[in-house]
Amino acid sequence: MRQLKHYFEVSNIYVLAKLKTLLFPWLQKQWHRHAERDQTGQVVGYKAPRADMQSPDLYIPTMGLVS
């Protein structure tokens, strides 16, 4: 469950921005993901959807399925 929790960590601002991106993809300028780094500068993973608009999430598809 801990691994799935990462994909559902979203905020209201994230959901609105993701819906805007889905409806108007040509308005999106940056498509790269933001990496999370440790003290030495090594990449240890990617930021959660709450902090990175390009991060994959399961909240939007789940709400679409439920709706």
Contact status, residue 55 vs residue 49, Cβ threshold 8 Å: yes
Q: What pLDDT is stored for residue 66 in this prediction?
A: 94
Look at strands 43-46 and 35-37 and give their pairing: antiparallel
Rounded mean pLDDT of the chain? 87
- pTM listed for this prediction: 0.72
Scan for tokens 């994909």, then name that residue. 7
Statement: residue 45 has pLDDT above 90: no
Structure tokens at 16: 């609105």
pLDDT band at 9 (very low <50, low <70, confident <90, very high): confident
Q: What is the mean pLDDT of residues 20-43?
A: 88
Statement: residue 2 has pLDDT above 90: no
